[in-house]
Structure formats: C-alpha cells, structure tokens
Chains A and B, each alone.
Chain A
Amino acid sequence: MPGRPVSVDTDPHPYFKVYSAGNFGEVAPQRLSPMSWSLVGDPMERGTRALARLLWGRPPWAEGTYYVFVGYFGCRPYHNLAACCHLSQTIPGLAPQDVTDAYFEGVDPPAELAALRATKVRQATGTALLLRELRQVGPRLRALEERVAELEWGLRAAVTANSPVALAGVLRDAQPVLEEAWAVHILTTSGLVPLSALQRWVYRRLTRHGAQIAHWLSRPRELVWDRLHMAAATMDPYGPGSFLDSSFYEVADDTAPWRDYAVRHKRASTSAGEQALSLVDPAEAISGMLPPWRSKTVRALAVTVGEVMAGREHSKSLAMRTLHIYRRLLPELSPLLGLDESAWPYLTIREFTDLPTNPGLANRAAPRMHACRLALGTPMPEHLDLTGGDGVPRPWLSERPQTQRGVAPGIGTGTVMSPDDDLPDEPVIIVCSSADADIAPLLPFAEGVLSERGSDLSHIAILSREYGIPCVVGYPGAASLPRGTAVSINGSTGEVKILDQS
C-alpha cells in the first residue's frame, strides 16, 4: 500500500472503538510479535465470530474484514471492550458491568449502541443455544486433547527423523487444532459470565445468603494444571508439560526483541502433601441446609460453574500446548523455506504457510520489522479509547475508581513471597503483578494470593478457588511489597491489611 506508513496495527472497528488489554494483560506479554498475534488474535476472532453467528445469527456489525472482538495496536493485543459489552446485552439479565467485572478489572463499560440491540426473541434463542453449546464442552475438550497429543507425537517424530515433509504435515495439522482450542476457550470464557450471573440470581431466590454462598461454592474440582506440572517434571521435551517452561502466548520468545517482553515461567515441582483428612467442602455442607430439590439445584449450579471454570483452564492449556508446537516447529521450518532466522516472527501464520507456493511473501517481513520497532517504542495504555477517529491512542478513563476486589473467598495471612522466591517454611501470601497458571505448583503451600491485576473470573481467581485459598486482585503495588512483610487478605471483602513486621 503506497502512501501509507507501514503499520502492524489492525483497523479499529467502525462502531466499537473502546479496547481493553485487561484480560490479555494479566497473562500475555505486554507486546506480541506479529506471528504470535496471528496465532492468538486471529483464531480468537474467528472463534468469537463463529459463536456470535451460532447464537445470534449473522449480526451485521460482526461481519466484515476488520477485527471485531480483538485488536492489535502498537504490537499490543487488546480485546474489544465495547463489542464484548455489547454481546453481554444480547443475553437477558446480563449487564455490561458483569463483563467488565469478570474480565476487565471493573472499568466502566462504554455506552451502549442501542441501534444495534438484538430483539427479545433473538436474545432468548441465543441464550438457549449458548447453554446447549456449553453442554458440549466436555466431549469437545476430550477430543481436542487427543488431537493435541497426536500433534506432539507428530512433532517428535518429524524432528527426530528430520523430515521436512513430516514437519510441513504438522504445520498443516496444527492449524485446525489451534482454532478449535481457541474456540472452546472463547466459549467457556464467555459462557462463564452469564452462568455465574444465573447462579447468583438463582441462589438469591433459593437461599438465605445467596451471594455469599455462590462465592463459597463455585470451585473447580480439579484443574488441568496440576497434571501438566506433574508431566513437566518428567522433563520430556515433547511431553504435554514442556510448554510450561516457556512464555505463554509468545512463540518467538527466543528471538529479540520479543524475548524482552516474554514472561519466562519458573517451573516448580509439585510435591503437595494433601491433608490426610480434609475439611468437608462448603458445597457438600450445604446439602443438609436446604430442602432436597433446592439443594440439588444449588449444587448442580455450583458444579456447572466449577466445570466451566475447569473447561476454561483446560482449553487454555490446550491452546498453549498447540502454541508450543508452533514455537518449536517454526524455527525448524524457516531455514527450509529459505527464510532469514530472525524474519519468521514478523510474518503471519497464513503467510508462513503460503511461503512454499508464494516465496515473495517473505519480503513482507522487512518493513514490518521497522514498523514493530517503532510500535515498541510507543507506550500503549491499558484501556484504549479510539473514538477520536484520528488514530491517536488515548487511554479509556473509568469514572468509577477501580478498587481491590476479593475474587476467591476466605482469609489468609502470611509473609509476602514473589513467585520467583524459594518457598520459606512459614505461611506465605503470594504477591505478584499478574499471575498465570505457572504459579499453580506454589498454591498448595500458600495461604493466599494478592495480585495487582485480575478480575472476578481471571485465571488466578479460578486457580485460587481450586485450592480453596483466598485471592484479592486489583491491589496496586502488591508486587513491590518488601519481602518479609506480613499481610492479611480477606478474599470475601477484598480487604488487605499490612501488618507490622515484628
């Protein structure tokens, strides 16, 4: 395109122009390479569009060549906050605030575009279809896990045999698997919001302390991370757990400049000594407090929400495993395709796949390198407001102050510890700026988690719920608390007390 400066940014959506890095920001690196973006943003967009199409027909605003639900500005991945909030209004009983609380750290949602509102019939049908889709999550995940494992075996065989044809075969097979993994991830992630809203609504009507009970009961029973960390301990380079060693989301984490943004995960081995006799879970305890049908409804909803939470984590782990296949596959393949060693992170996966038939595509990398260098020098705000229309990124300002929130109930007390420290003998509270599944092995030993970033349904909240420890998010300066400080956190109210150091 002559006349226009080369940019890696996506075009902003014509109607929905408020973006947020909230959900990405907790877990993904600050900046992603174009290749990683095409492996993360692209399939996410496709998955969300497919879901929207399935539930609400073909909404005109969700069609077209621009990205609708995600965006890539200044090499930073964003979710389209306005579009997500708009989707929430397509489900009866759900408010945009529910979405921002669940995934976007409680910022103010942008104003609704009433002209695009769906009809009541459409809303009701969509909700019923969403529930039906959610029922399919379990089988879909099981089938998907098999396909991911096959890919891992395929990659092992191809690398061992050093066969270009087999490597190209893995590249071809990985694409649909990646798309399915992100599609299920989108489904569980979006399904959790209306499900937990439904849970709170039903509990308020059926029980005396509805909101509290929902908070205590929604716990995933067993998350996939434990098993993966166990697999990682075998040190098998092609095993299911080997991705835990590398940065999530960034496939070019061995190449400059993306290396500087990639969060390396520290792998700690799990040797959790579970209590011989654990407490009866609150979810079991409630069974006697209500008449049978009420108690059945309450427990069924708690299990459903817990399972969808587990599905969200499972689908994410599968997406990460598939990305890890790309992480090892692409550097192997690029010399075979005559590509410069540092050039492949600047192509998209589509271009990379088309290289054998269209070698000219390799020339796109050089101008992008320049564009990325410029983009990386520009600071990008957390929440992005592009309503100005002049292409200048402005931060989206929330009128409501964002405050710390408890996202997993309970009270925990201990001395602070960063995930990179060694475990001390005393009770600890893990403090971090943002947290991902990499801290899962530490959680059995922790009394709680205090994080600067996060939302009601973010990964760290789900993980803390699995281990039944409290979690408070949105506490500024958590990661910079001095070592040895004793803190007490209340995951029900979001209270944080810094105790004296004596």
Chain B
Amino acid sequence: MTECTERSEGREGMAKRNTAMNVLVVGGSGYLGSAIAQACAKAGAEVRVVSRRGTATVGEGIRGDARLPRLGLPAGVRADVLAQTTHVVLSFGPVAWTTGPGEALETHSSGMRSVLAFLREMPGLEQAVHVSSLLALGRAQGRVTNRELYTGQDFRNWYEYGKYCAERLVRDATDLPVGSVRLGPVLGADPRGGRPDTEHGLPAVFPHLLAGYPVHLEARGDFPSWVTDVSSAAEVVVKALTAPIGRATWTWFDPAMPTLREVFTEVCRAWGVVPKIFDAKPLGWVTRRFGGRLGVAGELTDYAKPWFDLDPAVLRDIPEPWPVPEPDYLAATGRALLEPATVSRG
C-alpha cells in the first residue's frame, strides 16, 4: 500500500527530479557499474563515479574505496560530493565466487557499513539503490519472493554470504532511503568495450565450454538461469532511482526466462560450438575436484542444479514499462569473447 503511494508520487515528480539528478555510482568502473553510469547519463543525470581505479566511462571519475571511511575521499572532493549528490547507486565489489571470507566481508559487510555511514552525511539524498544479487538468497528454502532474505538457507560460497550481509545491512538501515535491486547473472557485451571478464561469476565457465570440455548440469540445464542483460539491468537500476524504489526490494531478470542450457547454447553459437552438457554426477564431482587444473573453479559446480524456487511474479513489483533486454544479448556475449583482450582496464 505505502509502496504504491510512494511510487505514484515518484512518477509525478519524475520529470522534475530527472533534470536535477546528481548520481554517485560507488563502484562504477566495473562491468555493471559502468553500464549503470552510462544509463544514468542517458537519463539526463550528472554522474560521478567512485572506484579504486578512479576511471569512468562517463561523467567524473574519482578515486576512492568503499571499504574506507567516507569512501576514502580527499576532504575537498568529499565536501562537493556530499553537498551535490541526490542519488546514489551502490554497485561495488567483484562477483568473485572464489574469494575468502576476509575479502568478501571486508567488501560487502565493512564496505557497506562505511558506505551507509557516508550516506547518512548526505543532506540532499533522495534515493539510493543497492545493487544486490539473487545469490544473497544462497540455497534458499521454499518459494522466495522479494520479501525473503534469510530463510534459513545456507550459502555456497563467501560471495553469497557477503551479498547477504550487505543486503541485511541495507534493510536494517531504516533511517535511509535505500532500496535493493536483486539481479541474477548479468551477461552481454562489456559496456566498456573489449572482451568481457571471464574470471568471475557464471562467465567463468564459458572458456571451458568453448574449448569443448563437457559440463555437468542437473536435468541437462533445463532450469531457469535468472540471467539478464547488462543494459536492461542498468535501466532497472535507473528506474529504481527515478520511480523511486523507496525502501523496497526489486528483482530483475530477463522476462523471457532462458534456461541455463539455452544460455550456454546461445553463447557458444557465435563460436560454432555446441556445448557438451551432461547430466552426470561423477562428471560434476571430477570438475569440482580437478577443475582447477583445467582453469574452471570448483565453486562453479555448486550452480549445476536449480538455484532456488523464485516466484517469477516478483517482476511485477517493478513499475511498467519494463526495460526490454537487448535482442540476442546471449549471442553478443559469445561474440564479445572473440574480441582480442587488448583493452586496458586500469
């Protein structure tokens, strides 16, 4: 009820806000972060990007670190940022399924704490959006919607636990206008150009597949993968800023709901490769045990079965019209992998 009223108020004020929107993207030089920064700029906002690299594809790039108090910004820059920022997007931290607890908790728990403390100092803050992950749900039990966060689940790795901690902290910060947008694996061509990163997350399996190695997937991958493309994900985040999302949680994935097998098949199509997908538990065991030697992290095999029972109706919490994923973004991911890895990320 309250969400609805908030939303309608938001729509009325949207045009007015859009002109004055000054967005700070924390962690905006990454894959998704730069897409968000670009989408914000496209929506007519002034964009500032804080990242450890200090680079930005659009807007002003500032060197900072989410784990440090006050984002580690120098005093002068900090004053400007605090005075001018009206909207904030929190998209820091790599999708690193192999990280240890130290790094995951430093980034997502300590980092989120320090960022929330920074937001409290912002007098003109209207809306902040935390880019969360569906994986914050871990191996959630039962049917999950936007409401659930901890359902007694366990976590497959420290990344999931870190994302859970971050979302928990956001939910507990009841004094701040900060909402969460949960995303599944984000695919599509890298908005910064060049070959996408295949070190972390789901894309880590692509080199393995493209090289013709077999993978084990339960039910041969006939389960929803909850993927989305990077541009529609960024648009949803912008929508969360402008709608605004308030303190709610949204979930976004490609409404076409491709299965994991379809994802693999499409990505490999650009290479003329048919992915070798088997439903063979021993193969999964071998991959987990020795995958590291073939360049595929054992952690990936945790995702070889249906992740959780997510209610597809969660999409309806996002006010329509929904962004439309780029047609053929899965094949575009595969094509992007063919590009030479000459792009400097530093």
Identify the A interface with B (CB < 8 A). Answer: 208-209, 212-213, 215-216, 275, 277, 279-280, 282, 284-289, 409-413, 427, 486, 488, 490, 492, 497, 499-500, 502
Contact = CB atoms under 8 A, between A and B. Distances in A.
A216 B168 contact: no
Nearest to B149: A277
B75 A500 contact: yes
B139 A282 contact: no
Given A279-B168, A287-B154, A410-B110, A213 B101 contact: yes
Contact of B172 (A216, A277, A486, A488): A277
Contact of A215 (B102, B153, B156): B102
B161 A277 contact: no
B105 A282 contact: yes
The 9 closest A-B pairs by CB, nearest first: A288-B154, A209-B100, A411-B110, A413-B69, A285-B161, A212-B102, A212-B100, A216-B101, A492-B102
Contacts of B168: 277, 279
Contact of B68 (A213, A488, A502): A488
Contacts of A486: 69
Interface in B88-138: 98-102, 105-106, 109-110, 114, 117, 138
A13 B240 CA distance: 73
Given A213-B101, A285-B154, 18 more contacts: A208-B100, A209-B101, A215-B102, A216-B101, A275-B172, A277-B150, A279-B109, A279-B168, A280-B164, A282-B105, A289-B155, A409-B105, A411-B110, A427-B117, A488-B68, A497-B68, A499-B69, A502-B75
B114 A413 contact: yes
Contacts of B75: 500, 502
B101 A282 contact: yes
Contacts of B308: none
A289 B105 contact: no
B333 interface: no
Contacts of A410: 105-106, 109-110
B161 A280 contact: yes
A245 to B, nearest CB: 35
B133 to A, nearest CB: 15
Contacts of B156: 288-289
Contacts of B101: 209, 212-213, 216, 282, 286
B104 to A, nearest CB: 9
18 contacts: A208-B98, A213-B101, A215-B102, A216-B102, A216-B105, A277-B168, A279-B164, A280-B150, A285-B155, A286-B101, A289-B154, A289-B156, A289-B158, A409-B102, A410-B106, A411-B106, A413-B68, A497-B68
A288 B117 CA distance: 31
Contacts of B155: 285, 288-289
Nearest to B154: A288
B287 to A, nearest CB: 15
Interface in B133-173: 138-139, 150, 153-158, 161, 164-165, 168-169, 172
A287 to B, nearest CB: 5
A208 B96 CA distance: 14
Contact of A213 (B70, B100, B109): B100
Nearest to A427: B117
Contact of B158 (A209, A427, A488, A492): A209
A488 B67 CA distance: 10
B3 to A, nearest CB: 20
Contacts of A275: 172
Contacts of B102: 209, 212, 215-216, 409, 492
Interface residues of B, number: 31
A497 B67 CA distance: 12
Interface string B310-341: 00000000000000000000000000000000
Nearest to A207: B100
A409 to B, nearest CB: 7
A280 B75 CA distance: 35
Contacts of A212: 100-102
A408 B265 CA distance: 47
B69 A488 contact: yes
Contacts of A216: 101-102, 105
Interface string B52-90: 000000000000000111100001000000000000000
A499 B73 CA distance: 11
A215 B158 CA distance: 14
A289 B157 contact: yes
A409 B103 CA distance: 11
A188 B98 CA distance: 35
B156 to A, nearest CB: 6
A288 B105 contact: no
Interface in B244-266: none
Nearest to A487: B69
B67 A411 contact: yes
Taking each of A285, A409, A427, A490, which has the highest tally of chain B beta carbons within 10 Å of its own beta carbon? A285
B176 to A, nearest CB: 16
A438 B313 CA distance: 53
Contacts of A213: 100-101
A342 B123 CA distance: 63
A499 B114 CA distance: 14
A427 B114 CA distance: 11
A427 B153 CA distance: 31
Contacts of B117: 413, 427
B120 to A, nearest CB: 11
B167 to A, nearest CB: 10
B114 A282 contact: no
A279 B150 CA distance: 9
Contacts of A286: 101
A279 B100 contact: no
A412 B113 CA distance: 9
A198 B164 CA distance: 30
A280 B160 CA distance: 12
A18 B155 CA distance: 49
Nearest to B107: A411
B83 to A, nearest CB: 14
A450 B198 CA distance: 40
A288 B106 contact: no
Taking each of B110, B117, B139, B153, which has the highest tally of chain A beta carbons within 10 Å of its own beta carbon? B110
A486 B75 CA distance: 14
Contacts of B138: 288
B20 to A, nearest CB: 28
A220 B139 CA distance: 27
Contacts of A279: 109, 164-165, 168-169
A427 B161 CA distance: 25
Contacts of B98: 208
A386 B79 CA distance: 58
B115 to A, nearest CB: 12
B139 A288 contact: yes
Contacts of B100: 208-209, 212-213
A325 to B, nearest CB: 43
A410 B104 CA distance: 11
B140 to A, nearest CB: 11
A368 to B, nearest CB: 52
